[in-house]
Amino acid sequence: MAQAETDPLTALQERLETVTRVMTTKAPIAQTPKELVWTLNKAKLYRYIPVVPQQDRHRVPLLLVFALMNRPYILDLRPGHSFVEYLVERGFDVYLLDWGCPGPEDSHLKFDDYTLEYMPRAVRKIKALSGVEEVSVLGWCIGAILTTIYAALRPDDGLRNLILLTAPLDFSDKEHLTFGRWVDEKYFDLDKVLQLFGNMPAEMIDYGAKALKPVENYIANYLKLWDNLENPKAVENWHAMNTWVRDNIPMAGGAFRQLIVDLYRNDRLMKGELVIRGEQVDLSRLRANLLTVIAEGDHITPPCQSETVLARVGSRDKEVYRVQGGHIGIMAGSGAEKRTWPHIEGWLSSRSD
Amino acid sequence: MSDAEPKATNQQNLAEKMHELRDAYLETWSKYLVEEVNSESYAQASGAALNSYLKAAAPFKDPAEQVILRTLQQFHMPTSADFAGLAGRFTNIEMQLDNLDAKLDRMEKTLAGMKAPGSAEAIAQQPKAAAKTAPKGTPARRAGRVAAKTAKGVRGNARKRK
């Protein structure tokens, strides 16, 4: 009886210790073995060590491109729940372009640099290393903007397959774009912000992303942890995700200015008015096979931002895949390996040999 | 024991009901706040808050930077501008190295292509070898000499094009 009375206290202590541990330490993430194969400024290109014999591997390598303001290891979150690991085990030659963390000296970097300097060089390196003249690219969030621009500007670079995840490309529907409302020139003084900070601070971007769903991000997220403290797998998932969520990076000032002025305020990409290093971005020049993945419950990139691109591109082989879930959840949530990953893998494998 | 079981079940039911109530309450709040942050009034309020922060912080930025700059210069230490310039130079060097790497790759590929069967080099070497091994005066020896001359022409033209 005395044992039964002390147990709740011990249990509470254990629960509090677990909460403290997962909120104050970093989870072991991005564990899939990889090698650094190329660098430029802060950007690094990694090649994941293949585990499938060469003769059984898919011929066309895959390049993963994530957003500029978060770490790309969300794609390789933790062993047993990693998109990268999933693809490597299924015979893909996987590369990851990590943009790195821009310093004050990089505040001038623009989409122009990322799409016409960094990406073509990384793609060339991949082609040289794999010995294949074609490549597939997967772009997620702002990574999808960059890959779309690159694919439209350099259609002859050997881009065979393009996968866009939650791609914010169409900024015409102002009613559904909360970010668009916040950064309207009436309220948001972009010049002053960049004059003061140089780059867009990570904390401000993080606040913006979390404030879109304040209850979920500031309250429900922690209650979810508390409710699942008895489930070690759920706790480790939460720990890994929290490690990623807290690890934000600033966005280069030049690129942030383009995101706000050219895209959010003027929708120049869809209107065909976006100019990158003097070249007009014409989406009809994008000819790669295209898969667009849309998250139905995405508050950061509502579906209306990703749907219309299919009608503008010149690709003959194009498909839209809708999946229940949020901006990150569709790729890193518990249901990702049952829905999103198999669909992407199936689509890609039939186009990679 | 028989009394304890229903008591535990009752407590569990109560806890579940509390959870349900809590989740329903949070969902209501969530919907309300999602609509609220998507309103013009929120955008205006957050913009005003940001502007007041910028107004408060901006006047200190330039003087603080000037003080740091002068201090660094007095101690003959590199400034942030020096570091930025250096970083830019390093990036340019990296790009030049990358260009060289690309050129080397192209050369390697060209050389590999030349050695591959069916390439101009291989065609040039084949007839020469055939001509040497074939007995003097035979058609094979004559054909080899003609083919070698033709291949030489092909290589010469390729060089001119470059």
**What's the pLDDT tens digit per position in A82-112?**
999 999 999 999 999 999 999 999 999 999 9
Asked whether the beta carbons of residue A41 and residue B94 sit closer than 8 angstroms, the reply is yes
Query: What's the angle, vertex CA A64, arms to CA A59 and CA A68, rounded to 5?
Result: 160
**What's the pLDDT tens digit per position in B52-110?**
999 998 888 888 888 999 999 999 999 888 999 999 999 999 999 999 999 999 898 88
Q: Would residue A327 show up in a list of annotated catalytic residues for this protein?
A: yes
Give A320's strand partners. Answer: A292
Residues in chain B closer than 8 A to A184 (CB atoms): 43
Lowest mean pLDDT among A70-79, A267-276, B125-134: B125-134
Asked whether the beta carbons of residue B50 and residue A211 sit closer than 8 angstroms, the reply is no
Give A279's strand partners. Answer: A276
CB contact set of A183 (below 8 Å; sequence gap of 6+): A190, A260, A264, A265
Asked whether the beta carbons of residue A186 and residue B47 sit closer than 8 angstroms, the reply is yes
Best interface-test mutation with B: which of A179, A181, A189 has the largest number of B CBs within 10 A? A181
Asked whether the beta carbons of residue A41 and residue B44 sit closer than 8 angstroms, the reply is no
| CA–CA gap between residue A305 and residue A314 (Å, rounded) | 18
Q: pLDDT at residue A205 above 70?
A: yes
Nearest CA in chain B to A117: B95
Best interface-test mutation with B: which of A36, A123, A130, A182 has the largest number of B CBs within 10 A? A182
**What's the pLDDT tens digit per position in B110-151?**
888 886 665 555 555 555 544 455 555 555 455 445 444 544
Asked whether the beta carbons of residue B26 and residue A223 sit closer than 8 angstroms, the reply is yes
Q: Would residue A7 show up in a list of annotated catalytic residues for this protein?
A: no
| CA–CA gap between residue B34 and residue B48 (Å, rounded) | 20
Partner A contacted by B82 (CB < 8 A) = no
Q: pLDDT at residue A69 above 80?
A: yes
Partner B contacted by A215 (CB < 8 A) = yes
| CA–CA gap between residue A256 and residue A233 (Å, rounded) | 37
| CA–CA gap between residue A256 and residue A111 (Å, rounded) | 9
Q: Would residue A176 show up in a list of annotated catalytic residues for this protein?
A: no
**Banded pLDDT at A10 (limits 50, 70, 90):** confident
Tokens 């790497």, residue located: B101
Q: What is the DSSP string of B58-69?
A: HHHHHHHHHHHH
**What dihedral do alpha carbons A322, A326, A331, A337 form, nearest 10°?**
-70
Sign of CA dihedral B90, B94, B96, B100: positive
| CA–CA gap between residue A51 and residue A95 (Å, rounded) | 14
Q: Quick one: DSSP state of residue B39? A: S
Best interface-test mutation with B: which of A121, A226, A264 has the largest number of B CBs within 10 A? A121
Residues in chain A closer than 8 A to B90 (CB atoms): 41
List the structure tokens of A135.
Answer: 């490549």
Q: Which of B26, B80, B101 is nearest residue A219 as measured by Cβ atoms?
A: B26
**What's the pLDDT tens digit per position in A282-327?**
999 999 999 999 999 999 999 999 999 999 999 999 999 999 999 9
The pLDDT value recorded for residue B124 is 54
The alpha-carbon gap from A211 to the nearest alpha carbon of chain B, in Å, equals 7
Boundaries of every domain in chain B: 78-114, 115-162
Nearest CA in chain A to B15: A227
Q: Which of B61, B87, B91 is nearest residue A196 as measured by Cβ atoms?
A: B61
Q: Which of B30, B43, B105 is nearest residue A181 as measured by Cβ atoms?
A: B43
Residues in chain A closer than 8 A to B19 (CB atoms): 227
**What dihedral do alpha carbons A201, A204, A209, A213 form, nearest 10°?**
170
Q: Which of A186, A211, A220 is nearest residue B26 as measured by Cβ atoms?
A: A220
Catalytic residue of the set A141, A170, A206, A262: A141
Asked whether the beta carbons of residue A186 and residue B83 sit closer than 8 angstroms, the reply is no
| CA–CA gap between residue B50 and residue B38 (Å, rounded) | 17
| CA–CA gap between residue A237 and residue A224 (Å, rounded) | 11
Q: Which one has a higher pLDDT value, A127 or B60?
A: A127
